Amino acid sequence: MSKSVKKLTGLVAATFTPLTAEGEINLSVIGSYVDYLTEKQNVKSVFINGTTGEGCSLTVDERKQLAAAWCQHGKNKLEQVIVHVGCLSIKDSQELARHAASIGADGIAVISPSYIKPTNADALKLFIKEVSAFAPDLPMYYYHIPSMTGVALDAADVLNGIEQMSPSFQGVKYSGTDLRDLGQCVRYSQSHNWSVMFGVDEQLLGALVLGVHGAVGSTYNYLGRIVNQMLAAFDNGNHTQTRALQFEIMEVITFAKNLGFDVSVNKQVMSEVSGLAMGPPRLPLLPCPVSKAQAIAQKIKDFSQGH
């Protein structure tokens, strides 16, 4: 890459995609969304069009419009806008990467193709290389989420040697629960000054101990302020406070999971907590019963008021 890279660290909100009642993208919400994250949650970076953002349910044009809106409204307010460009088609991913570079995004990320899957790590590395070539000056991150893609390759095998193929490669968003593999990613990334960002919100403390540089998650949209307290306590060596906060966050997420906590529910919870109109999910996701989202939102509000 020809320009210096600002390392991705700290909390990153995996953003929701606002939709109208008719199911069209609602760009009018993005400006207020940026302000809510930065002013109410003290979250200064975003990861857009990912799993939480229903990215793979959006058209290429919709994803471009959203990316442009986040970059526009985030200018001078957000530290980093990372655009997920993963698609089943490498051509679509390449076009989204090219577009992200043209609008001033701070980085791009890709999941593994998940219908016709790579048979080994070398195939996935080649896919990442060919996408990053369309945005050679943007940091590229591999988004590892085997629960959604069904691609069970070790992320550490994908990282191993990828710098020789993709000079713009800068790290991994690790949304798996294999701490052995995660630890190998952290260890390999140390000598390259890459970012390893963790993506399982309720298990963040375990990842911090292994040395991750931050976290990307959906709950940081409305729990960011408290999780930032947890990160500060960890950095200050206050392990008792860190553990107490993680246990409380686990309790909130467990409460939500027991009621059924998918992207659809989470999206409605964001609307209830933030007051922003996130709108419905897109099929095949079904709308969430409002009563369920309200119960989870109340739990979050009670927790937040105590901190």
User: Which residues are annotated as part of the binding site for pyruvate?
Assistant: 52, 216
Catalytic residues: 143, 173
CA dist., res. 19 & res. 7, Å (int): 32
Identify the DSSP state of 262.
Answer: -
Say which residues have a Cβ less than 8 Å from residue 71's Cβ, sequence separation at least 6: 81, 103, 104, 105
Identify the DSSP state of 163.
Answer: G
CA dist., res. 96 & res. 272, Å (int): 31
CA dihedral 13, 17, 21, 27 (to 10 degrees): 100
Say which residues have a Cβ less than 8 Å from residue 64's Cβ, sequence separation at least 6: 96, 99
Residue pair 96/87 in contact (Cβ under 8 Å)? The answer is yes
Strand partners, 45: 80
Output the known binding site.
Answer: 52, 216
CA dist., res. 209 & res. 217, Å (int): 18
Say which residues have a Cβ less than 8 Å from residue 244's Cβ, sequence separation at least 6: none
What is the DSSP annotation of 1-44? --S--PPP-EEEEE----B-TTS-B-GGGHHHHHHIIIIIS---
Alpha-helical (H) ranges within 151-262 are 155-159, 179-190, 204-210, 220-235, 239-259
Residue pair 41/33 in contact (Cβ under 8 Å)? The answer is no
Interior angle at CA 301, CA 243 and CA 234, nearest 5: 20
